[in-house]
Amino acid sequence: MVKKIVFIQPTLAPYAKTRFEELAKDKQLDIYLLFEHKTLPHRKGWEVTPVKGCKTIVIGGHNLKSKVYKPELNAYIEGVRGIPYTIPKYLMNIKPDIVIVCNASQLLFVNSVKKILNFKTGIIVEDTIHATKGRSNLSKRLKKIALNLVDFYLPFSNDAIEYLHVNGINNSIYKTSWSMKTDLFYNDNEVSEIRRKIRSRHKLDNKVVFITLTQLIPRKGLKNLIESWNDSDNRLKSDAELLILGDGPEKEDLIELLVRRQIYNVQLLGNKSYTEVAEYLQASDIFILPTLEDLFSLSVMEAMASKLPVMTSIYNGARELIIESKNGYVFDSKSKEDTIKALNNMYSDKGRLNEMGNLSYEIISNYTDELVMRKLGNTLKGIK
């Protein structure tokens, strides 16, 4: 018997397309993708396009802008909350067996026809205890109520599972994860030429190259990273270079900091295409992401697929991929002392970079689209 599975998403993320295509290869599943928006203006490259094997529908709706102050970050986080009031109409036509949502707003409209159509509901859980600290008590209570209105849960990290437990959810939890096409980020036949090209362009010959990929915004922790970098071991400062790929409102502040502190071994390189990102990762030696808040950074997975050791913070759900001192280090990015210690430890391991990078690649090989989506497909077929 073929099961009709509906996923409701804000729009199509670039990395989600190959995941859904992989899931659709299971002929016992009929996949429908309902998107609230054709594109998202603040998300470059996020756009609904045909997904092989899936039925894609842009359902429309209404948007509400949100702005939440995070005192621990001393910054406002802006976002958009969709009101997808058209969901019931589409579900009545599809008559699904399972509907999977990713937020409470979607769930509200899904549940309005759940009893009529007699389907099961699941929710993708990315929230973590740390990431929800700044929410109001009312928001937390409403989310807890919403979590108790679904039949099963698909947490994307160990932190998300902990979040469910804190909210009293202990059953019907099926852990899944982000995944990727690892062959997009490393090619043995091309890496030597790519490294030569990038390193020559940026005068990186004989340097130990640290790289980060991130938005230039306060919650990514770049100011403290740069301060810590400048106060680290003198050998690191003379022998290493830090490349920062990305753009954002904090760019001018970071430039001012570099000039004021006379830091000359940090390069701000701006946004790069997906192809260029893969090349810069292959030209680097160590990936670092000092985020102050991240549900699960996909750039960590991309770096590991590029055979790089990884340094990231205790505030990143993707830290579960790091085996301390084996393929990287986890540190408190709010602490300058701890950040400096991690940088110095990583630099001291420069003789083991290939070994550490190979372990990263071995770990991430368990997170391919094929393996992760096959497991998810089996989970969905088992839902009664």
pLDDT band at 131 (very low <50, low <70, confident <90, very high): confident
Query: Is the per-residue pLDDT at 68 higher than 90?
Result: no
Of 313, 131, 128, 76, the closest CA to residue 212 belongs to 313
Least confident segment among 16-30, 80-94, 244-258, 288-302: 80-94
Query: Is the per-residue pLDDT at 157 higher than 70?
Result: yes
Query: Is the per-residue pLDDT at 79 higher than 60?
Result: no
Query: Is the per-residue pLDDT at 80 higher than 70?
Result: no
Per-residue pLDDT tens for 252-265? 999 999 999 999 99
At 83 the three-state DSSP class reads: strand
Distance (Å, whole) CA 109 – CA 89:
10
Report pLDDT for 187: 80
Distance (Å, whole) CA 283 – CA 279:
6
The phi, psi pair for 175, rounded to 5°, reads -70, 135
Per-residue pLDDT tens for 227-256? 999 999 999 989 999 999 999 999 999 999
In 230-242, which positions are buried (b, 16+ CB within 10 angstroms) versus exposed (e)? Answer: bebeeebbeebbb
Per-residue pLDDT tens for 8-67? 999 999 889 999 999 999 999 999 999 999 987 767 778 999 999 999 999 987 666 655
Average pLDDT taken over every residue of the chain: 92
Distance (Å, whole) CA 44 – CA 270:
14
Q: What is the pTM of this model?
A: 0.90
- The DSSP result for 330-371, as a single string, is EE-TT-HHHHHHHHHHHHHTGGGHHHHHHHHHHHHGGGBHHH
Distance between first and last Cα of the chain: 13
Report pLDDT for 268: 98
Query: Is the per-residue pLDDT at 81 higher than 90?
Result: no
Spatial contact of 377 and 24, defined as CB atoms under 8 Å apart: no
Least confident segment among 10-24, 76-90, 101-115, 299-313: 76-90
Rounded percentage of the chain residues whose pLDDT exceeds 90? 80
Query: Is the per-residue pLDDT at 70 higher than 60?
Result: no
Query: Is the per-residue pLDDT at 71 higher than 80?
Result: no
Least confident segment among 2-11, 109-118, 124-133, 165-174: 124-133
Report pLDDT for 108: 93
Rounded percentage of the chain residues whose pLDDT exceeds 70? 93
What mean pLDDT is predicted for residues 60-77? Answer: 58
Least confident segment among 63-77, 198-212, 316-330, 346-360: 63-77
* Alpha helices per DSSP H over 210-315: 222-230, 234-239, 251-260, 274-282, 298-305
What mean pLDDT is predicted for residues 110-128? Answer: 96
pLDDT band at 77 (very low <50, low <70, confident <90, very high): low
Torsion of CA 210, 211, 216, 217, to 10 degrees: -70
Q: Which helix (H) or strand (E) segment is 23 a member of?
A: helix 14-23
Report pLDDT for 206: 92
